[in-house]
Amino acid sequence: MKISSFFIGLVFSLSAFAAKVEVDVSGMTCGMCVEAITRELKATNKAENISVSLEDKKARFSDLKDLKLTDAEIKTAIKKAGYEAVKIRRN
Ligand SMILES: [Cu+2]
């Protein structure tokens, strides 16, 4: 009981510091692109609520303050998938 409430508290406190990140991606043409980008962002283990939009050519996700994804890490992940992160916005 105590342990589970500790983990709930931990998850809540980490989520409270999540920053929303929006990345403009160039080179996306189809659903495979969306899957590849989603997979590489997931593989960083630092991105939550990943949503990649082919229409907007954007990848959106939340990162955790304690496990912050740097711009360089985002660019590397997108590049690994075969695309380019042209602009990164945080709020
Ligand atoms: Cu594609």
Is residue 69 one of the residues assigned to a domain? Answer: yes
Taking the C-alpha atoms of residue 75 and residue 81, their distance in angstroms, rounded to an integer, is 10
User: Judging by beta carbons within 10 Å of its beta carbon (0-12, 13-18, 19+), is residue 6 exposed, middle or buried?
Assistant: exposed
**Domain-embedded: residue 62:** yes
Query: Is 63 inside a domain boundary?
Result: yes
What is the tens place of the pLDDT at every residue in 63-75? 877 788 999 999 9
pLDDT tens per residue across span 12-49:
555 556 789 999 999 999 999 999 999 999 999 999 99
Residue-level pLDDT at 20: 93
Q: Is residue 8 part of a domain?
A: no
Domain assignment present for residue 2? The answer is no
How many whole angstroms from 83 Cα to the centroid of ligand 1? 10
CATH of the domain at 30: 3.30.70.100
Instruction: Specify if 58 maps to a domain.
Output: yes
Look at residue 19 in the predicted model and tell me its pLDDT: 86
What is the pLDDT averaged over residues 72-88? 97
CA of 85 to the centre of ligand 1 (A): 15
In a domain, 3, yes or no: no
Does some domain include residue 76? yes
Q: How far is the CA of 4 from the centre of ligand 1 (A)?
A: 42
Q: What is the pLDDT of residue 15?
A: 53
User: Residue 5's pLDDT is what?
Assistant: 57
What integer pLDDT is reported at residue 18 of this predicted model? 72
- 11 close to 70: Cβ distance less than 8 angstroms: no
Distance 11 CA to ligand 1 centre (A): 34
User: What's the domain count of the chain?
Assistant: 1
> For residue 61, what are the domain limits?
18-90
What's the whole-model pTM score? 0.79
